[in-house]
Structure 1
């Protein structure tokens, strides 16, 4: 009777050591399938509930926090159930065997989830390639300006001021030396001619035997003299006037001196106006150059600071995401292990299995 009873029961110690610890891949795959299915089921539940109650959640931050919490809950519950199934179906009453089967089921689930996420990301990237290319082409002009170093964003800021500066610099050489209106002083020369009895507007044939044969060229010669040409001297002009009229030498000299003084004063004023304009143009160029340099440096500093800030924020975000992923995976491993411990058969149940 005892033998019959013993034949219907088995003791853990009656099992050969080589067969006490074995890997049940069926149990592992079953646990992984259950974990994925329950996780998917709870995820759909969370998505549906979240969308239906989205009005009660304030802002995108609140919705994102809800999604993250529900993701952790659904994953943990799925792995807990998967670990339970793996530990139960492994059939070993050993806590170590159960935990190892639960951890293996967790690892298989994690690998599958990583593969699925990678495939999905690859599909999204492949599908968005043409759209991204179009967007890059559409924004190529704007991005191309800022692509190298600080880029055209700073170059355009400085370029506007430098363009104005260049215009001011070019204007320096384009400022003409103002010419003196000779008509005012030519009339003074003609007054001297009229005292000789000649009319400068007459032609040589019309003048005939009038006293000044060269009256028509007198004003032009006076202009050459006041402008400093060596071909005409004041004495020659005085001689022309005095030898052909009753004008005295002193009166002729006085008239020519008045013409020369008035013309020299006008010329000086014109030269001073030119120098003033040139100095103002130089000052404008210097100011524009300073503004351009300052604008460039400011834009360069701002671009550098923005890039540094973006880099720091990006690394912080990646670090936070890595730590969060580590915590979630660790929680999943613990859940799968705990579920496997709960699901393992005890020794009494193991003995009664035929």
Structure 2
């Protein structure tokens, strides 16, 4: 029975990995570095566009749209540069069909983008956790107590704000805060809790029962509006982020094919 012996060059080619991990790592590092640089630049420009003075800065809606578009552009640029480097630095593949070379180049760009996305996400998560932990610890040390940092604290202050001279409300603040937190979590404050809050506020501020109930309703509505605004902002940011990631993956893959083709043509010209 005869045996077919493959040429050594073909055997060597088959034994070599189809992924040039060095090129992928280089492209991923470039994508991550450019992404962080562009995000830092965008954050600086965003802070410069925000002002506490009314009428002196762009609206929140406009700022959100501009930030989303910038996120798309930054993702496209950083991914394209990194993908091009991954494709240009990969090894040359001999005796492969053009479609296979195209697929491998595309895969190099996509893998580099995926690797960079994981690196960037891990870095941002770690940095955010460290910053948040330091801020909470510093605030707790400065106040001498556990810092809650809840946005509902403001509405608690509004509920217990007296009409005349300020009164001490430290004994009831925690209870009111828990009632508001529970109401926001459940979607509404129950009638029993509303009545209790109105009685508590009437006793603390000197308001009549009807005025106290009116204040409770107004502040609860304000808290709902703030929570709904935050929810919509988070949803829009998530959609912009998903779109930027999708665009980045496409840009990295496309740029890698261009880099790979230029790498092969440069060998032929030489």
Q: Normalization by structure 2: what TM-score? A: 0.61
Contact 2:84–2:255 (CA<8 Å) still a contact in 1?
A: yes
Figure out how many residues of one structure are paired with residues of the other and give that number. 213
CA offset digits 1:83-116 (Å, max 9, x no partner): 0111222234611111111111101111111111
Match status 1:127 vs 2:157: no
Q: Normalization by structure 1: what TM-score? A: 0.48
Distance across 1 between alignment mates of 2:118 and 2:148:
38
The secondary structure found in structure 2 opposite 1:146 is: helix
2:79 aligned residue: 79
My pick for the range that moved more, 334-343 or 128-137, is: 128-137
1:159 aligned residue: 203
Distance across 2 between alignment mates of 1:308 and 1:38:
39
Match status 1:111 vs 2:118: yes
Structure 2 matches for 1:221-240, cutoff 5 A? none
Distance across 2 between alignment mates of 1:87 and 1:158:
71
Contact 1:100–1:337 (CA<8 Å) still a contact in 2?
A: yes
My pick for the range that moved more, 334-343 or 314-323, is: 314-323
Contact 1:43–1:70 (CA<8 Å) still a contact in 2?
A: no
1:27 aligned residue: 23
My pick for the range that moved more, 104-113 or 133-142, is: 133-142
How far did 1:318 drift?
2.1
* Structure 1 unaligned blocks of 5 or more: 1-12, 165-290
How far did 1:63 drift?
6.2
Note closer, same or farther for the CA distance 1:84–1:348 as it changes in structure 2 (3 Å cut): closer
Match status 1:146 vs 2:176: yes
How far did 1:320 drift?
1.5
Distance across 1 between alignment mates of 2:219 and 2:56:
34
Note closer, same or farther for the CA distance 1:111–1:15 as it changes in structure 2 (3 Å cut): same
* Structure 2 unaligned blocks of 5 or more: 1-8, 154-168, 180-192
CA offset digits 1:37-80 (Å, max 9, x no partner): 3344555666777889999x951546665555444323321110
Aligned-residue CA RMSD in angstroms?
A: 4.2
Note closer, same or farther for the CA distance 1:130–1:45 as it changes in structure 2 (3 Å cut): closer
How far did 1:307 drift?
3.9
Match status 1:317 vs 2:233: yes
CA offset digits 1:17-38 (Å, max 9, x no partner): 7357612110110101222333
Contact 1:79–1:336 (CA<8 Å) still a contact in 2?
A: yes
Structure 2 matches for 1:180-329, cutoff 5 A? 291-292=208-209, 294-329=210-245
Contact 1:157–1:296 (CA<8 Å) still a contact in 2?
A: yes
How far did 1:118 drift?
0.7
Distance across 2 between alignment mates of 1:103 and 1:75:
13
Note closer, same or farther for the CA distance 1:44–1:123 as it changes in structure 2 (3 Å cut): closer
1:59 aligned residue: 57
